[in-house]
Amino acid sequence: MDRLNYKMTISYDGTRYYGWEHQPNTDMTIQGKLENVLNRMAGLPEDESITVIGAGRTDAGVHARAMTCNVLLETELSPEEIQLYMNKYLPEDISVNDVRIAADRFHSRFKAKGKTYRYTLWHGDGKPVFDRKYVTVLEKMPDVELMREAAGHMTGMHDYRAFCGNPKMKKSTIRVVDTINIETQGSYIRIYFHGNGFLQNMVRIMTGTLLSVGYGEISPDDIEGIIESRERKNAGPTADPGGLCLMKVDY
């Protein structure tokens, strides 16, 4: 029986989890839950394990509507049967939405060309009871037009080290963020980020910076200087993880 490369699309509510990637001393990661079910499905002994490769490494508490991953499997089950098995045994807050056989050289992270993230904010007199896990509640309404002006300064090809949450980052921090769209609907403010890749905490720091602009703490004209400084301390705070969701991975 040949070992095949399977491409999967996963949705998850990240509230209970310590992010995508394996963490020491806990099995509460998305990657860990997927691998545990696949190991059971494949009937592997304890000294062998399956590795699921994700398109990105979402932080603790961050959600995904369409995370792409791939895994090498040796199984007689069809893609449809793999999907059914996984959804039967995965927790209710993780769903496998699609399974298909991919090319041998397909790699969910290295082959990704772009990602779309959405950050959701909420401001109103009541409470977002049914969305409370997926939005960040604001105490006051920011100036959205100022935020849009600042977003225009954030886009392009830049060294985004000032928006990186890892101070020990040794790899290149140059990325392309081609669009940042800010939409309002009732009490909701939704910020959509699309780029070729994002640094650790980058979307959350960019969101916190946009909010600082919206509250008059930072001028939109300051954004270019913040980027050029390459200093994390000059950007805004890191927004809470619950409002962030990975929407799509481009290939």
On the question of a common fold for 4-102 and 114-250, the answer reads yes
Please tell me the predicted confidence (pLDDT) of residue 43. Answer: 86
pLDDT tens by residue, 83-104: 999 999 999 999 999 999 999 9
Task: Output the CATH code of domain 114-250.
Answer: 3.30.70.660
Q: Percentage of the chain with pLDDT > 70?
A: 99
Please tell me the predicted confidence (pLDDT) of residue 32. Answer: 95
Tell me which residue has tokens 């494949």: 42
CB 193 within 8 A of CB 206: yes
Please tell me the predicted confidence (pLDDT) of residue 10. Answer: 98
Please tell me the predicted confidence (pLDDT) of residue 111. Answer: 96
Q: Where are the domains of the chain?
A: 4-102, 114-250
Q: Report which DSSP code applies to 56.
A: -
CB 163 within 8 A of CB 174: no
Please tell me the predicted confidence (pLDDT) of residue 84. Answer: 98
Please tell me the predicted confidence (pLDDT) of residue 99. Answer: 98
- Digit-by-digit pLDDT tens for the chain (251 residues) are 789 999 999 999 999 999 999 888 888 999 999 999 999 998 877 667 899 999 999 999 999 999 999 999 999 999 999 999 999 999 999 999 999 999 999 999 999 999 999 999 999 999 999 999 999 999 999 999 999 999 999 999 999 999 999 988 889 999 999 999 999 999 999 999 999 999 999 999 999 999 999 999 999 999 999 999 999 999 999 999 999 999 999 99
Side chain identity, residue 141: M
Q: How does the average pLDDT of the chain come out, rounded?
A: 95
Q: Where in the sequence numbering do the catalytic residues fall?
A: 59
Residue 105: other Cβ atoms inside 10 A:
8
Please tell me the predicted confidence (pLDDT) of residue 47. Answer: 67
Token digits for 96? 């496998």
Task: Output the CATH code of domain 4-102.
Answer: 3.30.70.580
Token digits for 251? 């290939």
DSSP states of 25-39 = TB--SHHHHHHHHHH
Q: Whole-structure pTM over 0.85, yes or no?
A: yes
Name which of 171, 183, 176 is nearest 158 in CA terms. 176
Please tell me the predicted confidence (pLDDT) of residue 155. Answer: 97
